[in-house]
Chains A and B, each alone.
Chain A
Amino acid sequence: MSTGGTGQDGANTPGAGAPSAEARADIHGQGKGLVQLITPSGERVSHPEFDPWVQDVTDEQLCSLFEDMTVVRRIDVEATALQRQGELALWPPLLGQEAAQVGSGRSLRADDFVFSSYRENGVAYCRGVDLTDIIRVWRGNASSGWDPYSINMATPQIIIGAQTLHATGYAMGIQNDGADSAAVTYFGDGATSEGDVNEAMVFAASFQVPVVFFCTNNHWAISEPVRLQSHIQLADRAAGFGIPSLRVDGNDVLAVMAATRVALDRARRGGGPTFIEAVSYRMGPHTTADDPTRYRDANELEDWAAKDPISRVEALLDRKGLLTAALKQQVKDRADAVAREMRTGCTTMPEPQPLDVFKHVYSTPNSWLDRQQDHYTRYLASFGDPAEAVSEEGAR
């Protein structure tokens, strides 16, 4: 990657308008560049400031994180296959971003609330989403998959960056309620160019609300590289808003977990917002409609494949003697089961009914819409079999 002048792993020096000394002291790793706890070859490296935040992660939990990431990758691969087979209209792959999503997702409490983009299906998995709900939208059967309150995660946002304001507003509510939960918003490197993300950071800093800005820098906004979005490291942007930031290896599940815990802890203690830049890479296309070979170098992909988030944990587990045949089988079985469940849920999903188009536009009656629904009901009824009307219309 090239992010211009400062370089990828250069010193993360706060510039003008940087957080106060207290705020800096409160943020571990400030000024120390990319935080990494597991190297790409699977070596656990010590980091005096961040180690304490993950010292409670047991071997069993490490195995569990490995399983989560493997399952999330399988969900992604299966959904991509479903799209290729014509079962889904579109799918936004997260291949390569499993550590960023699982590491952060597994750091959240049930009463935290997530506002994400459309790519955080791994986070949704960690929140306990119904597997069929993940693909409901992409099959075209609904505008959203799940009830946000069932897993405390808003339905994915397609307008780039709009959700960062929703998270900030939600965090204002948390603050008003005197609660100790947090709002977490996920967005990509491209979103940092949007006005809404910048306005969200202004509001979050002004009101010092408990929100975590989790930016997954996957290096590409469709075909536009991150260097087109920013001449400085994305994490450094936060300083201009008075928001402390962390820059972590987004392919390192432990580093992501540590950073998210730091930010959440800060939010819960009334310390205000934190910006996390998780440096990762989108291994696949932006969506299944995209062709990355038109805009990016194969060598780049190869470089990042060597930093794969799952293989490094696998190597770590192997070094620790934990990568047993039993574990491998267990993880495979789980991934198979999840994939099967999602595929079955996809192919057996009930078709929506014609009059469903009128449902939930308003929560109270609207005379215009009631009239249009009444007229369309009569129109459908004139066919005897409403399915006939739909197929005729669809044929044109």
Chain B
Amino acid sequence: MTQMTFARAINAGLRKSLENDPKVILLGEDIGALGGVFRITDGLQKDFGKHRVVDTPLAESAIVGTAVGLAYRGYRPVVEIQFDGFIYPAFDQIVSQVAKLHYRTRGAVKMPITIRVPFGGGIGSPEHHSESPEAYFTHTSGLRVVTVSNPQDAHTVIQQAISCDDPVLYFEPKRRYHDKGEVDESVDPNSAVPMDRASVLTEGADLTLVAYGPLVKTARDAALAAADEGISIEVIDLRSLAPVDYDTVVASVRKTGRLVVTHEAGQSGGIGAEVAASITERCFYYLEAAPVRVTGFDIPYPYSKLEMHHLPGLDRILDGVDRALGRPNSLSGLEG
């Protein structure tokens, strides 16, 4: 076990994948000499060469589109989108090509492409640098969408994503890049918990709190705070957003009877809506209250002085917990 930052853990995972498979190739803007704007690829070009770690011109559609061609040729490209808000120029290549080529060719062509996306807010960045675009991709069949919330997962799941024969969007919570944690680098990704499984982080009896990516830490903090008031919360790290491991969430809600989902992305059409609907379908008679969403607002990501109002924090999550439990809360007295 080694203490390392989240960022270092991804770097170490990428390094292992590069070492283990000569067909793994990294592409992105500034990922070479600079090591990426977040230094996630630090030192990799030096050790693996310019043909394995490729600094590309600034064109997101081309970064993903050339990865498609490389996949046709038998490579396993790992592309870096520099910031969440820069993924939109690549949207067509991701949803019309990467996602559909396996289906279109009836399985003849595999698209083992990993698209790394630093996402989410809380770091005081300007516009286009703090977005949570994950729902656009969970809506597209053929893509897998995963998030990571701790250095160990970051290290293991990046390797699982790269070795997966399906395309994977790997969302990295950029405000957690500098958080440290224990990482066992000897974990074999093939025998570790698969990336499409949710994990129950803390067991609880009164309420299920579902989070992913940057908000997992906040959710755990909220559960600790609630425990002080005698409320027992089961925290689930969703990990995979497409597919969602509903079996794990269903088992939890059948036990607790209450559900709160939290994410930074806007509420409408988000993962929270999907989880709430699916859990309502599958657990209707077990639910003691309507599922509650605690999310970002349906607004463009605000300028940094206001971003903490948009991002769900510990207190907003606890307020949502109170709503689900029928305790006095900020909306008490309101109907509908």
Nearest B residue (CB) for A366? B243
Nearest A residue (CB) for B60? A199
Interface residues of A in 161-202 (CB under 8 A from B): 162, 165-174, 176-177, 183, 195-196, 199-200, 202
Nearest A residue (CB) for B56? A203
Size bin of chain B's contact surface: 35 or more
CB atoms of B66 and A165 under 8 A apart: yes
Inter-chain CA distance A368–B143, complex, in Å, is: 12
Interface string of A131-168 (1 = CB under 8 A from B): 00000000000111001110000110001001001111
Neighbouring A residues of B305 by C-beta, 8 Å: none
Inter-chain CA distance A167–B69, complex, in Å, is: 6
Nearest B residue (CB) for A142? B106
Neighbouring B residues of A171 by C-beta, 8 Å: 69
* Interface assignment of A396: CB less than 8 Å from any CB of chain B: no
Inter-chain CA distance A169–B68, complex, in Å, is: 7
Question: Which of B69, B104, B105, B165 meets A166, CB within 8 Å?
Answer: B69
A165-B25 CB under 8 A given contacts A144-B104, A363-B110, A367-B246: no
Neighbouring A residues of B57 by C-beta, 8 Å: 199, 202-203, 206
Inter-chain CA distance A176–B246, complex, in Å, is: 42
Task: Name the segment of A3-11, A322-330, A333-341, A354-362 touching the other chain.
Answer: A354-362
Interface string of B98-109 (1 = CB under 8 A from A): 001011111111
Neighbouring A residues of B110 by C-beta, 8 Å: 363
Q: Is the interface of A mostly helix, strand, loop or mixed?
A: helix
Neighbouring B residues of A183 by C-beta, 8 Å: 69
A169-B72 CB under 8 A given contacts A196-B65, A199-B62, A203-B56: yes
9 A-B Cβ contacts within 8 A?
A144-B106, A148-B108, A174-B73, A176-B25, A199-B61, A199-B65, A203-B62, A363-B102, A364-B165
Inter-chain CA distance A166–B61, complex, in Å, is: 11
Inter-chain CA distance A185–B322, complex, in Å, is: 59
Inter-chain CA distance A318–B156, complex, in Å, is: 70
Task: Name the segment of B89-97, B117-125, B256-264 touching the other chain.
Answer: B89-97
Min CB–CB distance B81 → chain A (angstroms) = 15
* Interface assignment of A113: CB less than 8 Å from any CB of chain B: yes
The chain B residues found within 8 Å of chain A, CB to CB, are 25, 51, 54, 56-57, 59, 61-62, 65-75, 77, 89, 92-93, 96-97, 100, 102-110, 141-142, 144, 164-166, 196, 242-247
Min CB–CB distance B176 → chain A (angstroms) = 27
Min CB–CB distance B205 → chain A (angstroms) = 26
Nearest B residue (CB) for A157? B97
Inter-chain CA distance A173–B22, complex, in Å, is: 12
Inter-chain CA distance A393–B219, complex, in Å, is: 45
Inter-chain CA distance A176–B22, complex, in Å, is: 11
**A173-B73, A363-B110 given. 12 additional CB < 8 A pairs?**
A144-B108, A148-B72, A154-B72, A159-B96, A166-B68, A166-B72, A169-B68, A169-B72, A171-B69, A173-B75, A364-B165, A368-B243
Neighbouring B residues of A368 by C-beta, 8 Å: 242-244
CB atoms of A162 and B104 under 8 A apart: no
Residue among A148, A155, A165 facing the most chain B CB atoms (10 A cut-off): A165
Nearest A residue (CB) for B77? A169
Interface residues of A in 252-309 (CB under 8 A from B): none
Question: Which of A148, A200, A363, A367 meets B62, CB within 8 Å?
Answer: A200
CB atoms of A360 and B69 under 8 A apart: no
A159-B92 CB under 8 A given contacts A172-B66, A176-B51: yes
Question: Which of A166, A172, A361 meets B97, CB within 8 Å?
Answer: A166
Neighbouring B residues of A360 by C-beta, 8 Å: 102-103, 105-107
Inter-chain CA distance A170–B97, complex, in Å, is: 14
CB atoms of B61 and A144 under 8 A apart: no
Neighbouring B residues of A363 by C-beta, 8 Å: 102, 107, 110, 165-166
Min CB–CB distance B279 → chain A (angstroms) = 14
Neighbouring A residues of B92 by C-beta, 8 Å: 159, 162, 196
